[in-house]
């Protein structure tokens, strides 16, 4: 049975599974703890129902928590161990296009056939044996349980688990004895659940520490580090600091994931893999003290790692051939204040590299055509690049901590957005599946997006030195905005759906042949996934 193939079962079978999974999504805020299904102890009941107790105990697990870089660290870790010859299982979240992305076997999304087999086995067993006292698990808990079932049935050599939220009460934390744990960079996120200080947040993340199990982290703010060290000491955990990868060790090659911050995540992955190899008796391939060079397997793992939605550049393929490259999406799922800084720096450097490569290409082509006696119309040299922001964030986050950081970080690199577009996520409709469609635009509540727009207009007016109080006065439905819910302002527009925003971008490119749009998509991994679904299908 091949992995990741297109030989999926009938579409209606998959859609049926997605409908069932969608029924587990609660319409409550994640901060609402009124539902008894939130009790952590229920997870152990589910594991008994699924008869996974012994199998989880036997798994060689790497468990990773943190605010930023969890997915990247897990991806590097999986890639390294797969290149060392191990049969790997990777559980991450969220998915961007298809829920099967969360379950990777040997670096590939689980195929639809296997997914459906394991999904319905878990679903039917839980449906038969749950009750009012032990209700069906909520959405993420079911997915975590499904991951354990998949990895147990597929007999993986190593299971790499990314914590979904927090650590202490996360569904993945039913693991009682992982081989090694990791904590990535900590910052302010999910404060409505995890606490208002870095110390409180660190305490929740340190909840994955287990007695006597070694753990690694990266340099942290002092308040966070002291809590991690305290929690580690109480559990007799040998907590060590992983150093960023020295680029010299890569012998001129680049990490598979873009961005300077990835050297930190790669360093943590090296420490986790080396310790896992030591503790599972595989001492032949080992690397913990970076002094000379990396083993070939580690090098290949780091340089070939791939992860959608993190510092990803995708040209729009639905523009006419002569305009190919005139609409480019720069996608990064940053959604915390600190990650806004990192995202902005990456975007600014990426568009600078794009400009330089375009200018060099145009100069070369111009020189070549001149020598051959032909005169060519080089659109590259005539086109001006315009930066557009496509943004949304969840309402539990504080946009006043996100948007100013993003704007200021970009401005420090000389980048200013001509327009900001605010849209709701498709995922807000509580529907899982690639075929999920949002309701008609007239039914969509865009009050949150209007809040983001007002904040943005105020920031731009402040940046320009004008009166921010007048920002709202310029906002109205424009003459071309025949679709209900479109709200245009001087520096921003709210669209009631993402397709409308994408079509607006494409129409503008078609109408104005002298402009290239570089669109930064950020604020939410869900939004990034929605965009990828539209521009890659």
For 123-157, write each residue's pLDDT tens digit.
999 999 999 999 999 999 999 999 999 999 999 99
- Average pLDDT over every residue of 70-91: 97
Mean pLDDT of the chain: 85
Handedness of CA 72, 74, 77, 80 (dihedral sign): negative
- Average pLDDT over every residue of 44-68: 97
**Which of the residue ranges 370-379, 433-442, 463-472 would you say has the lowest mean pLDDT?**
370-379
Residue ranges of the binding site for ATP: 310, 332
Residue ranges of the binding site for Mg(2+): 93, 162, 190
Cα end-to-end distance, the chain, whole Å: 25
Q: What is the pLDDT of residue 288?
A: 60
Q: What is the pLDDT of residue 384?
A: 87
Q: Higher pLDDT residue, 293 or 317? A: 317
Is residue 219 pLDDT above 60, yes or no? yes
- Average pLDDT over every residue of 515-533: 94
Q: What is the pLDDT of residue 506?
A: 93
- For the chain, give the percent of residues with pLDDT over 70: 79
3-state secondary structure at position 147: helix
d(CA 342, CA 524): 14
d(CA 413, CA 345): 8
d(CA 537, CA 533): 6
3-state secondary structure labels for all residues of 285-339: CCCCCCCCCCCHHHHHHHHHCCCCCCCEEEECCCCCHHHCCCEEEEECCCCCHHH
Q: Higher pLDDT residue, 60 or 323? A: 60
Tokens linked to 361: 């290409």
d(CA 429, CA 431): 6
Q: Higher pLDDT residue, 9 or 309? A: 309
What dihedral angle (degrees, nearest 10) is formed by the CA atoms of 233, 93, 166, 223?
70
Q: 38-42, 63-67, 472-476 — which one is most confidently predicted on average?
A: 63-67
3-state secondary structure at position 43: helix
User: 0.95 cut: is pTM over it?
Assistant: no
Cβ(201)–Cβ(176) below 8 Å? no
Residue ranges of the binding site: 93, 162, 190, 310, 332
Is residue 100 pLDDT above 60, yes or no? yes
Cβ(417)–Cβ(387) below 8 Å? yes
Pairing type for strands 419-422 and 487-488 reads unpaired
Residues 6+ apart with CB under 8 A from 388: 417, 418, 419, 420, 421, 505, 517, 518, 519, 520
Is residue 44 pLDDT above 80, yes or no? yes
Is residue 363 pLDDT above 60, yes or no? no
Q: What is the pLDDT of residue 35?
A: 42
- Average pLDDT over every residue of 63-77: 96
Block residue for tokens 């409180």: 200
Cβ(137)–Cβ(37) below 8 Å? yes
- Average pLDDT over every residue of 352-379: 44
Q: Higher pLDDT residue, 429 or 497? A: 497
Is residue 441 pLDDT above 70, yes or no? no
Prior bond to 94 cis, omega within 30? Answer: yes
**DSSP H or E segment with residue 262:** helix 262-279
Is residue 285 pLDDT above 70, yes or no? no
Q: What is the pLDDT of residue 36?
A: 43
Q: What is the pLDDT of residue 185?
A: 94
């Amino acid at each position: 049975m091949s992995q990741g193939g297109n030989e999926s079962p009938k579409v209606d079978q998959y859609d049926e599974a997605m409908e069932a999974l969608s029924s587990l999504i609660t319409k409550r805020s994640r901060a609402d703890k009124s539902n008894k299904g939130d009790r952590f102890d229920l997870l152990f009941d589910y594991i008994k129902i699924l008869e996974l107790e012994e199998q989880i105990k036997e798994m060689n697990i790497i468990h990773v928590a943190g605010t930023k870089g969890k997915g990247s660290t897990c991806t590097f870790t999986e890639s390294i161990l797969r290149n060392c010859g191990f049969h790997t299982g990777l559980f991450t979240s969220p998915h961007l296009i298809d829920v099967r992305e969360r379950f990777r076997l040997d670096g590939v999304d689980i195929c639809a056939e296997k997914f459906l087999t394991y999904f319905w086995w878990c679903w039917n067993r839980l449906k038969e044996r749950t009750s009012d006292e032990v209700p069906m698990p909520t959405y993420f808990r079911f997915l975590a349980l499904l991951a354990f079932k998949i990895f147990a049935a597929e007999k993986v050599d190593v299971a790499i688990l990314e914590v979904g939220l927090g650590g202490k009460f996360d569904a993945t934390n039913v693991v009682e004895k992982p081989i090694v744990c990791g904590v990535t960079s900590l910052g302010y996120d999910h404060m409505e659940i995890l606490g208002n200080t870095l110390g409180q947040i660190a305490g929740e993340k340190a909840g994955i520490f287990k007695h006597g199990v070694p753990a690694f982290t990266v340099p942290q703010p002092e308040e966070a580090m002291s809590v991690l060290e305290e929690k580690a000491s109480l559990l007799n955990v040998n907590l060590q600091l992983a150093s960023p990868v020295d680029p010299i060790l890569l012998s001129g090659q680049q990490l598979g994931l873009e961005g300077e911050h990835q050297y930190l995540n790669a360093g943590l992955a090296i420490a986790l893999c080396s310790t896992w190899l030591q503790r599972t008796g595989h001492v032949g391939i080992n690397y913990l003290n970076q002094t000379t060079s990396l083993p070939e397997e580690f090098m290949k793992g780091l340089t070939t790692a791939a992860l959608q939605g993190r510092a990803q550049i995708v040209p729009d393929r639905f523009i006419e051939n002569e305009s190919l490259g005139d609409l480019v999406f720069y996608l990064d799922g940053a959604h915390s204040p600190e990650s806004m800084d990192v995202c902005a720096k990456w975007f600014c450097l990426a568009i600078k590299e794009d400009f330089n490569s375009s200018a060099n290409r145009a100069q070369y082509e111009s020189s070549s055509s001149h020598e051959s006696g032909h005169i060519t119309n080089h659109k590259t040299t005539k086109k001006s690049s315009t930066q557009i922001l496509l943004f949304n964030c969840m309402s539990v986050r504080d946009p006043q901590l996100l948007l100013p950081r993003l704007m200021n970080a970009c401005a420090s690199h000389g980048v200013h957005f001509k327009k900001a577009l605010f849209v709701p996520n498709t995922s807000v409709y509580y529907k899982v599946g690639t075929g999920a469609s949002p309701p008609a635009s007239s039914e969509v509540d865009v009050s949150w997006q209007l809040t983001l727009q007002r904040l943005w207009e105020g920031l731009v007016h402040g940046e320009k030195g004008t009166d921010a109080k007048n920002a709202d006065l310029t906002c109205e439905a424009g003459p071309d905005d025949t679709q209900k819910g479109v709200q245009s302002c001087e520096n921003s527009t709210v669209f009631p759906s993402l397709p409308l925003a994408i079509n607006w971008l494409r129409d503008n490119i078609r109408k104005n042949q002298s402009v290239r749009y570089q669109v930064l998509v950020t604020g939410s991994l869900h939004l990034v996934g929605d965009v990828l679904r539209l521009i890659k299908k």
